[in-house]
Structure 1
């Protein structure tokens, strides 16, 4: 849910958030049946995930975020922290359970009537935080923000295949596609849909997401104040259909500096801190009463080479740089073992419902790898259009210091073969914006899965349809054979066939080296002495996460 920005990236998908186990999309005619509450922390339907009525109501939850945001609207700035904030207030038609499966949310049930038609039954009794009832027309208006022709939404790419959206009944919405797409069932989940009201859209317009306009949703909280580069404050929406959330107020402070977040937790001025850096984990664990939780976050960090820009359009340059980065060393030293070397784009666990574990292992064994070997790096550069080397700049977001440390190790290695790489830290918002421009020669991509489908990353990063400014294919990679395989995968409703098409695309693309995947990540979040997090896993923050918290004695 680009930094999916993006994400992802674009995600802007990018930092997302936006890894699936199971696939409604791959099973023709399957209907997801009703639930009395939002997807809970274990991913099971039929449980709200919110505290019971007897749970203690607490006054204030103080959260430290590792980066600032410039918009509350994730469709305008789809960084992972935008989602962390927005998903306390806004919901989607379907949610993502802790096991990565699709779960009912604002849609209590849905079905795929035929390969191109999806019908959603809207939950009754849901109101927005301003007290107005949720209608099918509000869902249509929210979808149209991204699907209408000319939309500049960061989510627009996900709706390019939509032919028609209509309220087909008082509590029913029908989405018709131009062509079958096996993964579309994930599109109206939080990664690419956050529902608001038509009235709010009409009244607020371009001010949505700003300190003046804020955002409106059906979730457990509503924004009362937004100060970019400083904080967001929220108060509880007691009319939330999922039950009464535990905290009356939430304050989210933007604290980019790692040591400052550590001191804030040590001094008792924050209750939850996200993105605990690997090298500080022992210090956080040493704080009395702090519960430090780690889990795979289904994230991908990858080098992306702009194949449309010199000298990166030269495959020998790309191979030289790929051979110059010590991925095993980075996982050991920079991540302190809290991650795994990435053999390709999707994490192996993202293939559930498409390929089994043995098939994934077999596939990954066929994907070309470019291991750390400076002799090979030098030999590749010697065959390139720039045998004497060149200079370029590699940026990373301030919220990802581990990306910067990894980049510095690469820069040191590249010096030995004649390439000068300047590594620069920039604000997250600027980094996401620059990714969208596709103007640089080399990037660090940082993606967080918001679905359980392997095609989430594969399609965004490798499909030639997504090149160009604001496209998710930041490598500007347009191989007709790869795009053909991915387009065929979209149309397939057979698991094995779809898995083979996606796998063939990964193998063929890896030979061209548009990306050098670095690692699949692990996230660490600190919960203070007064806060219990219950079940914590890869999708903890892909939903109304604060409603899952409880008092800790």
Structure 2
């Protein structure tokens, strides 16, 4: 990757606040490029952390810029749909066969082949650390003709969904040099990544030979601006066309037609320690549930820019409202006179305020509450070790496969790796296991909701609200993606009038 001296994020944010026009290229109307969709100026929140390697979280940037692509994509329901693979079928208990699309070329002109797919998937499977989507998965890809056969160590009904993860993007051979992966000029998408300037910017041009059809915009000019106020100012001042992750505090400063609120698959949840202490008692957990006024949290802390939670899974999953809800929850007991300690972290700006509001609500109900607030890196280990009576967490409920079963296992199964509630409930374990083993589609979604109900009945976790991401678009932007999974932003159909 061609890297020039990078600008520290803090300095860049300050520079953008002081002289916003210097952070972006000229607007399409200034450049005369509007007739073909012009260039799109994008302000993004997080700079690359791993040189835009698709084997890291930087993969989501490549996906949002439509430069790197995967074998399949996910529809709104979370079902797999064709992309670089045109079809697939399960050929055995542990094997799947994917047919590779004809007529696709990488940005360097080399053809997409089954061998190229095998190489990319093999590199991902052997990476250290592995992409999250393959964590704990024994995974092998083998090419033959126009088909790639994927074999897993255990039966896995979610293989197609796994292959939708941006971390399993397929790149040209030139991208792989030793242990590094350089995506510059190596994708198959609507835009060609031409240059990446460290943590400051990236430049992409239209792929004139895109397999998916004509691309409307001439290119994309990306600037990374970690400071939320600076990003919002760039949109207000007309110096950016699309801005991701507008802070709640800045949204009211923008015109209503400049922002879109997109429900995120992320739930703000109070986890209660079921192993020891006050909340080992189901009646005490139920008392907490009844004491919480989630609507007050949404209105007061989030300024109405969030959704009151009806369950663990929120409106980002269009089928979540088919839930039964609690069917067998305990009755609330009188609050214990013992002091309970609630932990949370400062990394998400709203959580300390959520904790303070929640503390008052529980005190009003008769609980004695102490707060402990630290940076996440300094509090996670204690939370997982069960050192708090309760813990407030903003938690992604749909991990890279687009399926909530992995979240339900990690957070609520007896052997879950992220079981902050220390829950060990045979009914929950059985329901989660059934959800994991059910084939994708409506049957699996129903099993997931059954597992959610089993968790809700324990009151081990009290879902409070579902967060939204606020995206900013200039009024002359057409066709930007509003994606709850944050995999898409600019597509072949996005342009500036």
TM norm structure 1: 0.68
Query: Which segments of 5 or more consecutive residues in structure 2 lack a partner in the other structure?
Result: 1-32
Q: Which of 332, 335, 341 is the equivalent residue of 2:302? A: 335
In the superposition, relative to structure 1, how do residues 119 and 476 fare at CA in structure 2: closer, same or farther (>3 Å)?
A: farther
In the superposition, relative to structure 1, how do residues 311 and 225 fare at CA in structure 2: closer, same or farther (>3 Å)?
A: farther
Question: In the TM superposition, what whole-angstrom CA distance separates every residue of 1:32-61 from its partner, at most 9, and x where no partner exists?
Answer: xxxxxxxxxxxxxxxxxxxxxx99434532
Q: Which of 62, 65, 72 is the equivalent residue of 2:41? A: 62
In the superposition, relative to structure 1, how do residues 495 and 60 fare at CA in structure 2: closer, same or farther (>3 Å)?
A: closer
The Cα shift of 1:83 comes to: 1.5
In the superposition, relative to structure 1, how do residues 528 and 492 fare at CA in structure 2: closer, same or farther (>3 Å)?
A: closer
Separation of aligned partners in 1, 2:155 and 2:132 = 22
Contact between 2:141 and 2:148, CA under 8 Å: does it hold in 1?
A: yes
Contact between 1:137 and 1:198, CA under 8 Å: does it hold in 2?
A: no
The Cα shift of 1:271 comes to: 1.0
SS of corresponding position for 1:128:
coil
Answering whether residue 142 of structure 2 is matched by residue 166 of structure 1, we say yes
In the superposition, relative to structure 1, how do residues 59 and 176 fare at CA in structure 2: closer, same or farther (>3 Å)?
A: same
The Cα shift of 1:259 comes to: 2.8
Answering whether residue 402 of structure 2 is matched by residue 445 of structure 1, we say no
Question: In the TM superposition, what whole-angstrom CA distance separates every residue of 1:89-146 from its partner, at most 9, and x where no partner exists?
Answer: 2211101235654321111222233554321111122233333332223322333345
Question: In the TM superposition, what whole-angstrom CA distance separates every residue of 1:502-540 from its partner, at most 9, and x where no partner exists?
Answer: 344323333444433222233332211332126x54458
SS of corresponding position for 1:283:
coil
Contact between 1:75 and 1:155, CA under 8 Å: does it hold in 2?
A: no
Tell me what 1:10 maps to.
none
Computing the radius of gyration from Cα coordinates, the structure with the larger value is 2
In the superposition, relative to structure 1, how do residues 180 and 101 fare at CA in structure 2: closer, same or farther (>3 Å)?
A: same
Answering whether residue 21 of structure 2 is matched by residue 76 of structure 1, we say no
Answering whether residue 306 of structure 2 is matched by residue 364 of structure 1, we say no
Tell me what 1:189 maps to.
164
Answering whether residue 99 of structure 2 is matched by residue 121 of structure 1, we say yes
Separation of aligned partners in 2, 1:196 and 1:153 = 15
Separation of aligned partners in 1, 2:328 and 2:223 = 42
Question: What CA RMSD, in Å, does the superposition of the two structures yield over aligned residues?
Answer: 4.1
Matched residue count: 455
Tell me what 2:493 maps to.
548
In the superposition, relative to structure 1, how do residues 155 and 70 fare at CA in structure 2: closer, same or farther (>3 Å)?
A: same
In the superposition, relative to structure 1, how do residues 74 and 301 fare at CA in structure 2: closer, same or farther (>3 Å)?
A: farther
Contact between 1:63 and 1:252, CA under 8 Å: does it hold in 2?
A: yes
Tell me what 2:314 maps to.
347
Tell me what 2:254 maps to.
284
Separation of aligned partners in 1, 2:87 and 2:42 = 33
Answering whether residue 84 of structure 2 is matched by residue 106 of structure 1, we say yes
Contact between 1:96 and 1:542, CA under 8 Å: does it hold in 2?
A: no
SS of corresponding position for 1:185:
helix
Question: In the TM superposition, what whole-angstrom CA distance separates every residue of 1:445-476 from its partner, at most 9, and x where no partner exists?
Answer: 33264666453543443345541xxxx65656
1:464-475 paired onto structure 2 within 5 Å: 464=414, 466-467=416-417
Separation of aligned partners in 2, 1:323 and 1:100 = 33
Separation of aligned partners in 2, 1:444 and 1:348 = 18
Contact between 1:338 and 1:522, CA under 8 Å: does it hold in 2?
A: yes
Separation of aligned partners in 1, 2:430 and 2:304 = 37
The Cα shift of 1:274 comes to: 1.8
In the superposition, relative to structure 1, how do residues 149 and 252 fare at CA in structure 2: closer, same or farther (>3 Å)?
A: closer
Answering whether residue 66 of structure 2 is matched by residue 91 of structure 1, we say no
TM norm structure 2: 0.75
Tell me what 1:137 maps to.
115
1:458-469 paired onto structure 2 within 5 Å: 458-464=408-414, 466-467=416-417
Which structure is richer in relative contact order (CA contacts within 8 A, separation 6 or more)? Answer: 1
SS of corresponding position for 1:346:
coil
1:107-506 paired onto structure 2 within 5 Å: 107-148=85-126, 152-157=130-135, 160=137, 162=138, 164-167=140-143, 169-190=144-165, 193-197=168-172, 200-201=175-176, 203-205=177-179, 207-208=180-181, 216-219=186-189, 220-222=191-193, 224-228=195-199, 230-285=200-255, 291-304=258-271, 314=280, 325-347=292-314, 350=317, 352=319, 360-361=322-323, 363-366=324-327, 368=329, 379-380=335-336, 382=337, 387-390=338-341, 393-397=343-347, 400-413=348-361, 417-424=367-374, 438=384, 442=391, 444-447=393-396, 449=398, 453-455=403-405, 457-464=407-414, 466-467=416-417, 477=423, 479-493=425-439, 498=444, 501-506=447-452
Separation of aligned partners in 1, 2:490 and 2:419 = 30
Separation of aligned partners in 1, 2:87 and 2:381 = 37
In the superposition, relative to structure 1, how do residues 422 and 324 fare at CA in structure 2: closer, same or farther (>3 Å)?
A: farther
